[in-house]
Chain A
Amino acid sequence: MKDKIKNIFVEGAISPSKIAESIAHHQSKTEIGAHNIFLGQVRADQIDKKKVSAIEYTAQIDIANQVCHEIREAAFSKYDLSCMHIYHSLGKVYSGEICFFVFVSSAHRTPVFDSLTEIVNDIKAKLPIFGKEFFEDQSHQWKVNQ
């Protein structure tokens, strides 16, 4: 599967209707029997009585897309997947909104269960994306992934 490098980034939050549309697009692909979806949502973390109200994402986009492409190709060669869609937000995403969407499909459930965890973990660990967490009083701190 030698696809060209895709741009995973979208400006702002990923809307639930975009996710629904993405699911609907697969109804014509009748060889698929299983989908698995990960949605990352901005959490209103509470730190020293201050609550996170939004995360502003920036990225080294060229490297992030290249590394994501490598993760995608590795997953396609390791697992029997029909298709894979990956989107990540840039800019401000407010708490409760979706900032990260990974969607894998296959003929059967095992490849989608096994691959999704790996893809999500790899993206969080390897893509140069930076989250700036804003509190309600507009002060901020830099997000640290667990």
Chain B
Amino acid sequence: MEIKVRYFGQLQEITGVKEASFTLPFDTIGSLRAHLITIYPDLKNINFKIAQDNKIDSDLSDLNGTLIDLLPPFSGG
């Protein structure tokens, strides 16, 4: 299964891209997070939430969505 990962806000500066596709299997959101941190070690220094299919989800949840969003700290208003 191919997943699309989109990076928001300052995460685009850390990764140098806005989005990327992955075909590797990840069982949980946490395992995807761990994989992304190995590719982009600077992600360790920032708190970010992960959403799948437009819903923010926990690292313990199964990864079954195809649209994954990485969301750095919110600063609206």
In the complex, are the beta carbons of A142 and B10 less than 8 A apart? yes
Which residues on the B side are within 8 Å of A112 (C-beta)?
none
Q: Which A residue sits closest to B49, measured CB to CB?
A: A128
Q: How long is the Cα–Cα vector from A130 to B9 in the complex, in angstroms? A: 6
Residue of B10, B56, B76 touching A129 (CB-CB under 8 A): B76
Contact with A along B3-24 (1 / 0, CB 8 A): 0001011100000000000000
Residue of B9, B55, B73 touching A63 (CB-CB under 8 A): B55
Interface size on B, residues (CB 8 A): 17
> In B50-66, which residues have CB < 8 Å from any A CB?
51, 54-56
Q: How long is the Cα–Cα vector from A134 to B74 in the complex, in angstroms? A: 17
Q: How long is the Cα–Cα vector from A40 to B49 in the complex, in angstroms? A: 25
Using CB atoms and an 8 Å cutoff, list the residues of chain A in contact with chain B: 40, 57-60, 62-64, 66, 88, 99-100, 120, 123-132, 142-145
Using CB atoms and an 8 Å cutoff, list the residues of chain B in contact with chain A: 6, 8-10, 49, 51, 54-56, 69, 71-77
In the complex, are the beta carbons of B77 and A100 less than 8 A apart? yes
Which residues on the B side are within 8 Å of A120 (C-beta)?
77
Q: Which A residue sits closest to B76, measured CB to CB?
A: A129
Q: How long is the Cα–Cα vector from A125 to B51 in the complex, in angstroms? A: 16
Which residues on the A side are within 8 Å of B77 (C-beta)?
40, 88, 99-100, 120, 123-124, 129, 145
In the complex with contacts A60-B71, A63-B56, A100-B10 CB distance below 8 A:
no
In the complex, are the beta carbons of B10 and A128 less than 8 A apart? no
